[in-house]
Every structure is written in structure tokens, then in C-alpha cells.
Chains A and B, each alone.
Chain A
Amino acid sequence: MTIVEAGQRTVSFFRRDHTYVFLGTSALAAVCYLLTRFVPTLSSFLGAGAPLIACQGLLGAWIAFSLVALVVKATHWRTYDDTFLKKPGAVRITRCLSYLAWLVCAVVIVDRVVLSVVDIAHYVAAADTRTNLFFPDVLYYAWKGRSMLLQGLGNTIIVAVVGTLVAFVLALLLVFLHLNPPSKRDNGFVRFWKKLGLGFYKVYTTVLRGTPMMVQGSIIYFGFYAFIQGITGLGVAEMNQVWSVFTAALVTIALNSTAYLAETLRASIEAIDPGQAEAARSLGMTNWQAMMKVVFPQGVRNAIPAIGNEVVINIKDSSVFTFIGFFELMYASRTVSGTYYATTEVYITTAVIYLVLTMVATAILNAIARRLDAPTSNGVPSSN
């Protein structure tokens, strides 16, 4: 969108006669009126005196006026355009009044929401005991546990992003096994390997998609731990260097996502019209060339939204690595919870962090998809 376009849009927004102007603004005004009933915090500039009463008066007046207008609209449904409310002068005045209502609402929201949160945050940051009020306590524990939560968040992001990227590369390799069906013209040796590859693909995707990642993580972590220790005879300290829970989590998430991404890639490759591959073959290209030059690039492009979904899924599902003791966001939250004897207050923060993280990730991935001219996805994908 160019600046000119944006300007034109803004102008037309202000000139238009908005359909829900009374309904929308009066609802907002009502909410803000309720907000003014809350106790003001330290840095509140409206306080409880004259400025507050002025705001309440304006909001009340606007709500009353809106109600009148809405009643007129309801009773004169068909002839509303002929009522006094639609006289050009009246329209202009109501529009100006509605802007005033917006302004008052904004002031109240800043005063009673933004500044209150800031004040509470300031207070709890300096406090050394909980307040026994729910919302301030959420902030209190978030602040107390901040370094652990941030460390957990970092680990979650690393495992989810790196794991998915590695998985994407592995899935590209894996899906090749499926793209090369054995043909009558191959010699026995080639045919054997192609069949073996196809079999491996099927077993791999079935097993990895058919078992929970928590179980896979446990088998990979404990299994390899015992295996490596058995071979090398290392002590616990060295073992944690060689085969840490972090490595195990990364390996698990990569192997797990490989199965899903390979199936996604396969589906989007198979969705490409086979006529294109036939045309490539008819020009003399080998099956491999037709795949690599024509079918594959299109299939991968169509799979981009699914790859993005996989990142978001992994952000959420990496929480199962709490089970093997990997310090990701969920494990960090549990640690904070255990340290301060608080549960819901802590997990609310955890949920908010996950939500923001997945929303940001979705936005970034959609922007990338748009850049690459691929279809974009909407909403947050379900879990694996």
C-alpha cells in the first residue's frame, strides 16, 4: 500500500457515515465508564476529582445520546434517512461528538489500564512478598521468575526453530525416497535400493507419526544415554557434555517433524498436475530431472504454509521435553512455580508467553510465505 493510498483511506474513513457509530462507541463508552469506577493508582492523572467527574459526565452524555439515536433508528427503521439525525448538519455534529467520545475513552484507558499496569508492575518489582490480589500476583511471580522464564523461552525457541529447519532438510531427503518409484527399466540392484528406500519411508513416517513425541524423546534420550555410556564408559559429568537433554530434545523434535514434513511435502508434490511431469518426460528429461526441475519446486512452494505450521506446533509441543528434564519454557515455569509455591499465577504468564510466541511466529511465517508468493495459512495449527 502506498502512502497516497493510505492517506486516501484515512480521509475516506473520516468522511464516511459509519453504520455502527452509535452502537460501537456507546458500548466502548460504557466499558470505559465502568473503568472509571476502579480505584486510581499512584500515577493516575484523572484521580478521583473534577477531571474524573468531567470524563464520567461526557461518557454518560454520549451513552444517553446514543441510546436516543438507537431508539430512533429502531422505530424509524425504514425512514431513518429522513429523520433529523441524518440532516447533513446533524451528521457532522454527531461525528464530531463521537470523536470526542473516542478521545475521552482513550484518556480513561490510558489512566485506568495502562498506567495502572505500569504502577502495579513497578510496585511488584520492588515488593518482596505477594499481594494476595490475583492480577498483581501474576506480575509479581513473572517478575520474580523472569530470568528462568527467559532462559526457558530461549531454549524453546532454539529447539523449535532449529529442530524444524533440520527437519525440513531431512524431510526433503526423505521424500526423495518416495519420488523414485522402481521401474521396469531399472536393473535389479537399483530396483532393490529403491524398494528399500520406499519401505524405509513408509515405516519411518508411520512410526514417528504414530507415537507421542514424549515417548520418542524418552526413548531417544535414555536409550542413547545408556548406549553411549555403554560404549565409552564415561561418567555422568562427561555424559552430560556428550549427550545432554538439549541434544536429545533437538534430535527428537527434528526426527519427529521430519516425518510430518515429509508427508506434507509428499502430499503437495502429488497434488501437482501429473501432466507437467509427463510433458517434461516427453521432452526427454529423466524422471529425476522432471521431479527436480518441474514438480519439486512447485510442491515445496505449496508446502511452505505447512512448514510454518510445523514451527508453531513445535513451539507448543516442545513443552513435552519437560518430561526428560529439558529446561524449556514449561520446565522453567514448573521450576518458578515450585520455587514460589504459586501455580495458576505462574502458568497464566506461561500461557501468555506461548500465545505471544506462536502469534509472532505465525505473523513472521506468513510474511515470509507472502514474500515467496506461496499461499498463507490462517489461525494457529493444531498439535501433532
Chain B
Amino acid sequence: MADTAETIVRVEGLRKSFGDLEVLKDINFSVKRGEVVTIIGSSGSGKSTLLRCINLLEEPDAGHVWFEGKDLTDLSTNVDKLRQDIGMVFQSFNLFANKNVLDNCTLAPVTLKRMSKAEAEKVAMGHLESVGLADFAHADVRRLSGGQRQRVAIARALCMDPTVMLFDEPTSALDPEIVGEVLEVMRQLAQQGMTMVVVTHEMAFAREVSDRVVFMDKGVILEQGAPAQVFGHPKEARTREFLARYLND
């Protein structure tokens, strides 16, 4: 799919170092509308950093990040405004601890979209419904399980009606038996045509749901392609090595 679709995110010549450690070395990468891209790779290979550079939570040292044709790395760009259209879901949920489930979802729309509280709540209830948490709208987020928290985080991001959703290991902090409920929500989202970039260690999910798999190693994209190709016939020895570890599990 997506060959003719427009490019939403384009990363060009991206570099990022933390002190002496060069984490991203000249990354080139793009995502088309409706595409689901998973990023895999071993720990420390720079997956999170790449994802965080896409919405500029991490400021790149060099290179460009275009989102819908606007260069985020240009110092005159209003990054805050563009981030409204780039949803992000974190490994550690990062819910607002001083707000209940519904208020977590409505804070940004009310603050940023000049929406009335009632209107924002209506939208939020719709998204909470779709992640299966409508009954928890008025619950304290500290009372929720990890899986429920992550689904709230997804609903919260969806409330801004984003063009693309970034997921940074959304299930890594969860107990194995509740990973499924979060993956199910993400699968639904993919089916509805959401553009998604997902960093994950869930190989079955990557294989089944994504349109493209990107394998990162030591700060570079070593190979990418359709899941059948990357999982079935990896070109690089490092990829084979990495996948072997997972397939043995």
C-alpha cells in the first residue's frame, strides 16, 4: 500500500549525540499517510531517541525533520503547534497524576483547541469508549492497572485528533497477561487507517500489523522493508542475529 500516498513525516540526515555517545548517525526515514511502521532493534540502538526527535522532544544536533511539509528543526517553526498533530504514547504512560481519567483526556483540547469543556468531554468519552474505559472516566488514574493506564494514554493522545501517532514501547512496562489489551487497541487503530510509528519488542505484532519494519542497530537504520521480507529473509547478518534471539523465545 501507500506507494502513492503523501509523505507525512520525513527525517533527513538526522544526528544526535549525548555527550561523546553518538546515538543517531545520519538517519533517513519517512512515513506515508496511513502507514504503520514498526521500529525494532536491540536496547540502546537509538529507537527511542529517533522517535523523540520526530516530535522534537529531543532536539537533533543535525539534519531535518519534516512534518506535513514543515521543517520542525527550523528555529522559526512553532513546534508546540505542530506537536498538537503528533500524538505520543510513552512506555511509562506519563498520565497526569493530579487529574482523573476524563480530565487527562480533556486538558490539552480545552487548553489548546478552544474547545468547551463539555465538547471536549464528549470527544473524550468517545475515545475512552473505543479503548474500553468509558466506565472509568471519573476514576483516579492512580487506581488503574498498567494496561488501563496505557489505554487512557492512547485515548488522551487521540483526543487531539492527531495525524500520526508515535508509540515508544507501549507494552514494555506491562505484565505479559495484559500486553494483549493494549496491542488490541493499537491493532484497531491501525485498521482505522491511523498513521503509526511504533517502537516495540512485540515481534508478532510487528509482523502482523505493520506495513513496514525498520531495524535499527547502533544508531543507523540497517535495513527496512515489508514484515514478510525483514522477518522471512533478512538481508543483514545483524538482523538475523537479533531476530534469532526473539524467535528462540
Chain B binds chain A = yes
Count of chain A to chain B residue pairs whose CB atoms are closer than 8 Å in the complex: 72
Residue-wise, chain B 173-189 has the 8 Å CB interface mask toward A (1 for contact) of 00000000000000000
Does B220 interact with chain A (Cβ within 8 Å)?
A: no
Most A C-beta atoms less than 10 A away, residue of B79, B83, B108: B108
Fill in one digit per residue for B71-107: 1 if any A CB lies within 8 Å of its CB, else 0: 0000100011111111110101111111000000001
Residue B195 lies at the interface, judged by CB distance under 8 Å to chain A? no
* Chain A interface residue count, Cβ-Cβ cutoff 8 angstroms: 20
**Is A282 engaged at the interface, CB distance under 8 Å to the other chain?**
yes
Q: Using Cβ atoms and an 8 Å threshold, which residues of chain A touch B59?
A: 184
User: Which residue of A275, A279, A285, A297 contacts B80 across the interface (Cβ within 8 Å)?
Assistant: A285
Which residue of chain A lies nearest to B82 when distances are taken between CB atoms in the complex? A284
Rounded to whole angstroms, the CA-CA distance of A184 and B72 in the bound complex is 13
Q: Looking at chain A's contact residues, is the secondary structure mostly helix, strand, loop, or mixed? A: helix
**B112 contacts across to A, CB distance below 8 A:** 283-285, 289
In the complex, residue of chain B having the shortest beta-carbon distance to the beta carbon of A274 = B94
Chain A: which residue is nearest B76 at the CB level? Answer: A185
Tell me, yes or no, whether A280 is within 8 Å of chain B by CB.
Answer: yes
Cβ-based interface call for B156 (8 A): yes
> A279 is contacted by which of B82, B85, B96, B111 (Cβ under 8 Å)?
B96
Q: Does A87 contact B (CB under 8 A)?
A: no
Bound complex: CA A280 to CA B160 (Å): 12
- Distance between Cα atoms of A250 and B83 in the complex (Å): 47
Docked pose: A282 CA to B89 CA in angstroms: 9
- Interface flag for A17 (CB, 8 Å): no
Chain B interface residue bracket vs A: 20 to 34
Given A289-B111, A293-B107, is A284 in contact with B84 using a C-beta cutoff of 8 Å? yes
Complex Cα distance, B59 from A301, in Å, reads 31
Write the chain A residue with the least CB distance to B80: A286
Whether the Cβ atoms of B98 and A297 lie closer than 8 Å is: yes
B94–A185 touching, CB < 8 Å: no
Partner of A185, one of B75, B86, B108, B153: B75
Q: Which of B93, B94, B96, B108 contacts A284 (CB 8 A)?
A: B108
Give the docked Cα–Cα distance between A19 and B96 (Å).
Answer: 48
Chain A positions 270-329 with a Cβ under 8 Å from a chain B Cβ:
273, 275-276, 278-286, 289, 293-294, 297-298, 301
Instruction: Assess the A284–B80 pair: CB atoms within 8 A.
Output: yes
Contacts of A289 in B (CB 8 A): 111-112
Closest to B112 in A: A284
> What is the chain B residue whose CB lies nearest that of A283?
B108
> Judging by beta carbons under 8 Å apart, are B97 and A284 in contact?
no
A282 contacts B98, C-beta separation under 8 Å:
no
A184 in complex: contacting residue of B57, B75, B87, B107, CB < 8 Å: B75
B224 near A: Cβ within 8 Å? Answer: no
Docked pose: A184 CA to B57 CA in angstroms:
13
B55 CB-CB contact with A under 8 Å = yes
B107 CB, min distance to chain A CBs, angstroms: 6
The reply to whether B88 and A282 contact each other, CB–CB distance below 8 Å, is yes
Closest to A294 in B: B96
B172 to chain A, nearest CB (A): 14
Q: How far is the CB of A185 from chain B (nearest CB, A)?
A: 6
Is B50 close to A, CB under 8 A? no
Q: Which residues of B contact A298 (CB under 8 A)?
A: 97-98
Task: Please name the residue on chain A nearest to B98 by beta carbon.
Answer: A298
Contacts of A280 in B (CB 8 A): 96, 107-108
A276 touches B81 (CB 8 A): no
Known contacts A276-B97, A298-B98; A282/B87 CB under 8 A: yes
Residues of A within 8 A of B157 (CB): 282-283
Q: Are B57 and A278 within 8 A (Cβ)?
A: yes
Q: CA separation between A280 and B97, bound complex, in Å?
A: 12
Do B94 and A279 touch (CB < 8 A)? Answer: yes
Q: Is the CB of A278 within 8 A of B94?
A: yes
* Residues on A with beta carbons closer than 8 Å to the beta carbon of B85: 284
Complex: A278 Cα to B93 Cα, angstroms: 11
Q: How far is the CA of A164 from the CA of B188 in the complex (A)?
A: 54
- In the complex the two chains form, what is the Cα distance from A301 to B81 in whole Å? 30
A284 touches B90 (CB 8 A): no
* B interface list, Cβ under 8 A from A: 55, 57, 59, 75, 79-88, 90, 92-98, 107-108, 111-112, 153, 156-157, 160
- Chain A residues near B (Cβ < 8 Å): 184-185, 273, 275-276, 278-286, 289, 293-294, 297-298, 301
Cβ-closest 9 pairs across A and B: A284-B84, A279-B94, A283-B108, A275-B94, A282-B88, A284-B83, A298-B98, A286-B80, A294-B96
Known: A273-B94, A280-B108, A286-B80. 17 other contacts (CB 8 A): A185-B79, A275-B93, A276-B94, A276-B95, A279-B88, A279-B95, A280-B96, A280-B107, A282-B90, A283-B87, A283-B107, A283-B156, A284-B81, A284-B85, A285-B111, A289-B112, A294-B96
